[in-house]
Amino acid sequence: MICRTSEEKKSEKMFRSRLRPYLKVKNSRTLPVSPKARPDNLSEIVVLPASDVTHLFNHEAMLAASHAIEDLAHDTGSGELIATFQRIENFAPQRDRYLKIAAAVDAVRVWAEGEPPGRTPNIDFVPIFHPLLSRYWVVLFESQEVQAVLFCKQANHDSDFSRKIFSGFYSFNPFLVRCIRRRFSLLAAGVDGVVAHFERNFAPFMPDQDALSDIDSLLTPA
């Protein structure tokens, strides 16, 4: 980025204040993209580096960043929250949390494969109809004052959520947040070409098949 706006600085400051409680979970961490940068101790408490940089997230770091954005939405009290859960089973543990958020903000839209659960007022469920989209994990919040997005794609093929690794970034750039939000609006209207746009334009952030072996080597105990 050439420069950071005051909006970005404000959003990031608010995000980090809400992220701090989640970083106290034992074994939370982000993983370096390069195997050469492997840390000596992967069990240390996670420290999320600067935004707008590609990272590898384990499931705990993903949840920490996701919850920080969700709390940001709840505390702001207006705006729209978009979240992809891959499969609807992943939403079930967060149901009560999202009901509280939905009661506070203008709109909550949850994307997932599977049958939407009952008794979830004020939450719009959008089916994932493109197979590639089910590999993405996105949590986006936009209001007039605060903007934040976590944009990642699963980097390994594990179906167990506790062993999933995601590659991507988080950002508070209001222009990027609005750009991604508008593309989800197009997806909701059935324009599945947006997924091809994600695959093409965010390719530098997402490892290809050749990189999967490098990721696995990071996770294998020495």
Tokens of 67: 């919850």
Instruction: Look up residue 36 and give its DSSP letter.
Output: G
The answer to whether residue 1 scores a pLDDT higher than 50 is no
| pLDDT averaged over every residue in the chain | 81
pTM over 0.75: yes
Of 27-41, 82-96, 166-180, least confident by mean pLDDT is 27-41
**What is the rounded distance in angstroms from the CA atom of residue 127 to the CA atom of residue 107?**
16
| Domain ranges within the chain, ordered by starting residue | 6-23+51-210
Q: Is the pLDDT of residue 28 over 50?
A: no
Give the side-chain half-sphere CA count within 13 A for 172. Answer: 23
User: Could you tell me the pLDDT band of residue 56, with boundaries at 50, 70 and 90?
Assistant: confident
- Nearest CA to 210 out of 160, 155, 135 is that of 155
CA 138 to CA 128: how far, in whole Å? 13
The confidence band for 27, taking pLDDT boundaries of 50, 70 and 90, is very low
For residue 95, the cross-strand partners are: none
pLDDT score at 66: 95
| Among 51-60, 105-114, 152-161, the range of highest mean pLDDT | 105-114
Cβ atoms < 10 Å from Cβ of 67: 17
Considering only CA atoms, give the Rg of the chain: 17
> Which band of pLDDT confidence, cut at 50, 70 and 90, is reported for residue 32?
very low
Most confident residue range from 10-24, 72-86, 155-169, 196-210: 72-86
b (16+ CB within 10 A) / e for 103-124: ebbeebbbbbbbeeeeebeebe
pLDDT in tens, 171-195: 999 999 999 999 999 888 888 888 8
Q: Is the pLDDT of residue 202 over 90?
A: no
The CA–CA distances, whole Å, from 15 to 46, 51, 76, 157, 163 equal 15, 11, 11, 30, 25
Q: Give me the amino acid identity at 194.
A: V
Which CATH class for the 6-23+51-210 domain? alpha beta
The arithmetic mean of pLDDT across residues 29-54, rounded, is 50
